[in-house]
Chain A
Amino acid sequence: MKQMLEYVHGNSLIHRLNPLTKLIFAVVTCVACFIGSNHLFLLGILLFTIIIAGASGILGRAAGVYKALFILGLFLMLFQLLFTPQGRILFYILPGVPVTDIGLGFSSLLMLRMMAALAPLSLMLMLTPMNELLTAMTHNLKVPYRYAFAVVTALRFIPAFSREMDQIMQAQRSRGHETDTRNPIKKIRVIIPMCIPLLISSVRKVETMAISLETRGFCTGPRSCRKKLGFTLFDILAIILVMAALPVSIIIG
């Protein structure tokens, strides 16, 4: 989970794009994935994101993301398969549970859509430093700094909380609390008692952070910005390329 959202440092052409361009890329491809209902189109988008990951030199880290998305997609697909009895029966997965051609087509589309829609969002977060995203949101999109900061901080805290949770899990495990179970219902029962210490430590962390913000003049007046983020020719080309996905998705439908 933490790998899916953490920025990976690099200096590729894509890293240097304006954060707004990357934000547009993420949002537009995501929308296009929901408009287009064509296997090849979705596969194409997925391939496109892999090319981007490769071009920016983060394919290694992105591979983990694709794997996680694939597993999630597979589950979705399986569920969808089981509950679509319409169409021509191809074979039986279990006695009395048929797999049909419509079911197969629909469920694989769902899986591809989920993967193709989430991959660009995850890539965008891995390729954009948080503070640049913040600058883009406040200066270009005119989101009030207070709110933009809250969003970015929430994203930043996810890996911190995940580390904290690991620590709590290990502490509980060392005291004999069973945490490894494949039974999903048991798993939930095992995790609930750990949420309380996580909640308490998070509240503490957030409080310290609030004090730290107070003592560094957070929101005391107008704010300056260290970096000027300009649009280059590449940004414009990238935006045109990404925008092209929209009409294509509508045409292919």
Chain B
Amino acid sequence: MIRFNDVSFSYENSDEMAVRNINAHIGRGEFVGIIGPSGAGKSTLLSMINGVIPHFYKGDFYGEVLVCGRDTVESTCGKLSHHVGSVFQDPESQIVSTVVEDEIAFGLENFNIPAGEIEARLAEALRMAGIEHLRHESTAALSGGQKQRVTIAAAIALRPEILVLDEPTSQLDPRGSRQVFTTLRQLNREYGITIIIVEQKVMLLSEFCSRLMVMEKGRIIMDGPTRSVLEHNDRLLELGINCPRIVTLTKLLKNASLWSGGYPVDVDEAETVVRGIMEGTHDQYQEPELSIQ
């Protein structure tokens, strides 16, 4: 679906490569999280999928990026937007209309979709993003989480096969962030939309993504199923990525030879692990919590 063939890119007026020698393939229906320190090239990588690079930000582009079989350099942002929906960090400046329904219809009108079909797609996008009740609201009056879901709805109204999101929860509280991720999971599972998200909140990534990419200095240094990437938690910590507490806990359990399985990715799994240890080894260890510490 998306293929990076030995891609490197440096922005105009910059000597340094923002990303270098990227080789990756993302298949249909994947839910990919990208994480890494700031300046690692995460946003650059995303901008290559929706065509913002090289069509909006210019620079030296090496290699090729294929999105749904199209070379992004030969296509345009507008053409690519039929396949790729984009959501950016600051919802405020992405919203171009004053009313929610107009915001969602904006892209559809740009693509010259007849009025009757716009209505159907508008209703569908509102339902998929779970914001049917906000339809007639003024966009200025929404909360951060609601605004962010409006931008997601606006992106999915164009029925993209791929959705790229650049830190969509950076301005949201924990509850709003979780809502956004829950919406994304639904889009991914029920509608088969491929999701690629750059995010700093590692806990949410480990819980919701099936695959993690870790970037550093323009390269992808780790790429694999979430569970196996989390095993390298020492390396992640070196990069300044705090592992989820459940991973830290499991690591301590492993060090104490209490657990030898894989890493849990959400709290429920972690609970199962801990309960298993407590029940299974209760006779041997009077207070397993103490031995962990």
Contacts and interface: CB of A to CB of B under 8 A. Distances in A.
A129 interface: yes
Contacts of B112: 221-224
Contacts of A213: 96
Nearest to A227: B115
Q: Chain A interface residue count: which class?
A: 20 to 34
Interface string A199-227: 00000111011111111111111111111
B50 A223 contact: no
Interface residues of B, number: 46
B123 interface: no
Interface in B100-149: 102, 105-115, 118-119, 122, 136, 138, 140
In this complex, the member of A130, A153, A159, A220 whose beta carbon has the largest number of chain B beta carbons within 10 angstroms is A220
Given A131-B97, A210-B56, A217 B114 contact: no
B154 interface: yes
A125 B291 CA distance: 69
A210 B93 CA distance: 9
Contact of A215 (B81, B89, B140): B81
Given A131-B99, A156-B98, A224 B52 contact: no
B77 A214 contact: yes
Contacts of A6: 140
A213 B88 CA distance: 12
A214 to B, nearest CB: 4
Given A6-B140, A129-B98, A223-B110, A214 B52 contact: yes
A189 interface: no
B78 interface: yes
Contacts of B155: 216
B98 A228 contact: no
A225 B109 contact: yes
B86 interface: yes
A151 interface: no
A216 B154 contact: yes
B98 A131 contact: yes
In this complex, the member of A6, A210, A217, A220 whose beta carbon has the largest number of chain B beta carbons within 10 angstroms is A217
In this complex, the member of A131, A153, A209, A222 whose beta carbon has the largest number of chain B beta carbons within 10 angstroms is A131
Contacts of A159: 140
Interface string B213-227: 000000000000000
Contacts of B158: 216-217
29 contacts: A7-B98, A130-B97, A156-B96, A160-B92, A204-B93, A210-B56, A211-B56, A211-B86, A212-B86, A212-B94, A213-B96, A214-B51, A215-B77, A215-B81, A215-B84, A216-B106, A216-B107, A216-B110, A217-B81, A217-B110, A217-B111, A220-B78, A220-B111, A223-B109, A224-B108, A224-B113, A224-B114, A224-B118, A226-B102
Among all A-B residue pairs, the 8 with the closest Cβ atoms: A220-B78, A216-B107, A205-B93, A217-B110, A212-B94, A214-B77, A208-B93, A215-B86
